[in-house]
Amino acid sequence: MATTTLAKAADDEAVRHAARIEHVSKSFAGPAGAQLVLDDISLDVAPGEFVTLLGASGCGKSTLLNLVAGLDAPSSGGITTDGRPALMFQEHALFPWLTAGKNIELALRLRGVPKADRRARTEELLALVRLKGAYGKRVHELSGGMRQRVALARALAQDSRLLLMDEPFAALDAITRDVLHDELTRIWAETGVSVLFVTHNVREAVRLAQRVVLLSSRPGRVAREWTVDIPQPRRIEDAPVAELSVEITEVLRGEIRRHGQH
């Protein structure tokens, strides 16, 4: 039976783990009965650690992220987080009738930040994501990359110790994505936030993370992990990034073949 999906950890265990996933399984009802999507997943994210979840489409990466976010409950096992995580989606999910600044201020208001302090904090967050001066910009006036920067600032406005990111750069062009990789790495280093980042892009996973966790397909299980001992800043075309990406891709291909996916 599943234990609490989202717990505000208050003991020594919380200090050692931004997130702890213990023997988590998840099933969904289907026409042929219950379908097991995640099977006995155990994974820890340390404070300040950057972890990427990698796997083929349909392996349950986003499902696991939703469980950690508290948007759904596991069928069995338990998840503990150090406070409530912030979640950033593939789509920016900004309110189009609000300005960039007001979108961020909404997160601050929901957090209980006094009205008098919201504008200054919003300007700080816009500067952090290098959008100084964009407070009054409407969503339709922003490029795709700028919208994702605002979405990131809004997530950071929640003041969470754990940032969950579900393929946030997948819809962007290669150059914009490359720039935002640099920005995310810088912001992670500056803030000390823990990051659990979902992607199906192997090079993106290696470029960003301290640790890459590969999920198998149908159902998702932890197939293998890699510690990425490549100094930051990294470039996606760097030889060490490319070499490790080739190794991980071969293992991923083996998982796909083993599970009969094409």
pTM: 0.90
Does 10 score more than 80 pLDDT?
Answer: no
In a domain, 87, yes or no: no
Query: Exposed/middle/buried for 17, CB within 10 Å: 0-12, 13-18, 19+?
Result: buried
Distance CA 225, CA 18 (A): 18
- What is the pLDDT confidence band of residue 79, given thresholds at 50, 70 and 90? very high
For the chain, give the number of residues.
262
- Report the pLDDT averaged over residues 50-62: 90
- What is the pLDDT confidence band of residue 30, given thresholds at 50, 70 and 90? confident
Amino acid type, 261: Q
In a domain, 195, yes or no: no
- Report the pLDDT averaged over residues 226-254: 94
In a domain, 105, yes or no: yes
In a domain, 74, yes or no: no
In a domain, 137, yes or no: yes
Q: How many domains is the chain partitioned into structurally?
A: 1
Distance CA 243, CA 246 (A): 5
Predicted confidence at residue 70, as pLDDT, reads 94
Our CA angle for 142, 165, 221, nearest 5°, is 150
**Nearest Cα residue to 161 out of 5, 10, 43:** 10
Q: List alpha helices for 111-143, DSSP H.
A: 115-128
CA distance readout (Å), 88 to 62, 67, 154, 214, 223:
11, 14, 9, 21, 25
β-sheet bridge partners, residue 206: none
- Report the pLDDT averaged over residues 10-19: 66
Q: 129: domain range?
A: 94-159
Does 8 score more than 50 pLDDT?
Answer: no
Tokens of 68: 């950690």
Distance CA 206, CA 188 (A): 15
